[in-house]
Amino acid sequence: MAAWTRKRVSLPENQGFDRCTLDSGKPGLRVVVFGGTHGDEIEGILAANRVANTDFKLLSGILEVVPVVHEAAYHADSRFSPLDGGNLARVFPGDPNGKPTQRLAHALQTQVLNGVDLLIDLHTAGQIYDIPYLVGYIDDGRDKKGLGARACKAFGADFIWRHEARVGGRTLSDVDAAIYTEAPLPGPTDMGFVDRYYDGVLRVLAELGMIDKSVAPPPPARPARRIASGGDVDKDLQSASHAGIYIPKVREAERVRKGQLLAQIIDIEGKVLQELQAPFDGWVVVSQRRPHVKPGDSVVGIAIDDTKS
């Protein structure tokens, strides 16, 4: 049976990442699992590590895991790089001559992601936002084999979020087929979601014929609810127009109606500075968690029912 190999990819500024590879020796897909693209999203890191420590009998193709994609951010317990403030998930495909975060993205893109058949990028909401337990994919015609849609269905989250457009900067941006996960986890670390993520990856591998179906856990009893949006979460979100204190009126995963009050921004005396309403019927997919907001901060986002998939 093939065994995992672990190789260190070293970069300047003490950056780099471990790349774990399990090669079946047989033709097939190359699937890559990322944990820790954002350094404060711990459950994905633990789940990716667990995958890289499981002795699968891989039936075909190559499985690769980068358990901690952004190590500097992980050690800083942060969404951002302590070296340059960069958000790794906004600078892909990177720049070999850029700042440290851009150089890291370039190395990941050119050494790991180029030519991948499916990327599984394990995020959670982190410390700033609440996000439902969801798995998302881009549906813009580039994924000719439909691997993203198949993988999302197999993964087994509460929501499947289909994005009709592709935006730049993400780990997914220059990959034809990719899925990403989110979960309402601002902390403390939730081992239950580590299990769910691990099980989800196994279900995807079984769906793709890379491991035996008997190895993967059965799908959850409740099928995922399908939601959709235009693709750029940063634009789907509504922003604060005032500095103040954010008061949510809805929670992540909640059904809302057009015009419904989603949140208020108040001043320290309680005076309402801004009210945010749902622009359409839909589901709350992002909600600001921290109290303090400033103008331009993204605070709340809605996705609609997906009627096409």
Interface contacts to Zn ion, rule CB under 5 A: 38, 41, 123
Of the pair 35, 61, the CB lying nearest Zn ion is at 35
Whole-number minimum distance, CB 48 to Zn ion, in Å?
Answer: 13
Of the pair 38, 163, the CB lying nearest Zn ion is at 38
Quick one: residue 75, left, alpha or beta (phi over 0 = left, psi -120 to 50 = alpha)?
alpha
- Write out the two tokens for 222: 């409740």
Crossing angle of helices 191-207 and 147-155, in 10° steps, is 140
Instruction: Kindly report the backbone phi and psi dihedral angles of residue 155, in degrees, each rounded to the nearest multiple of 5, phi listed first.
Output: -60, -45
Of the pair 229, 274, the CB lying nearest Zn ion is at 229
Of the pair 131, 208, the CB lying nearest Zn ion is at 131
Q: Could you give the CA distance from residue 112 to residue 63 in angstroms, rounded to a whole number?
A: 11
**Closest by CA position to 64, among listed 124, 10, 18, 132:** 18
Whole-number minimum distance, CB 273 to Zn ion, in Å?
Answer: 29
Of the pair 56, 193, the CB lying nearest Zn ion is at 193
Of the pair 41, 176, the CB lying nearest Zn ion is at 41
Whole-number minimum distance, CB 79 to Zn ion, in Å?
Answer: 7
Beta-strand relationship, 282-288 and 261-266: unpaired
Of the pair 20, 131, the CB lying nearest Zn ion is at 131
Q: Could you give the CA distance from residue 129 to residue 132 in angstroms, rounded to a whole number?
A: 10
Whole-number minimum distance, CB 269 to Zn ion, in Å?
Answer: 35
Crossing angle of helices 191-207 and 42-52, in 10° steps, is 50
Instruction: Kindly report the backbone phi and psi dihedral angles of residue 101, in degrees, each rounded to the nearest multiple of 5, phi listed first.
Output: -65, -35
- Write out the two tokens for 104: 């890291």
Contacts of 261 (CB under 8 A, 6+ apart): 249, 275, 276, 277
Question: Which alpha helices (H) appear in 81-228, and where do they start and end?
Answer: 100-108, 147-155, 191-207
Q: Is the separation of the CB atoms in 178 and 118 below 8 Å? A: yes
Of the pair 69, 216, the CB lying nearest Zn ion is at 69
Place of tokens 């999302």: 152
Q: Is the separation of the CB atoms in 287 and 303 below 8 Å? A: no
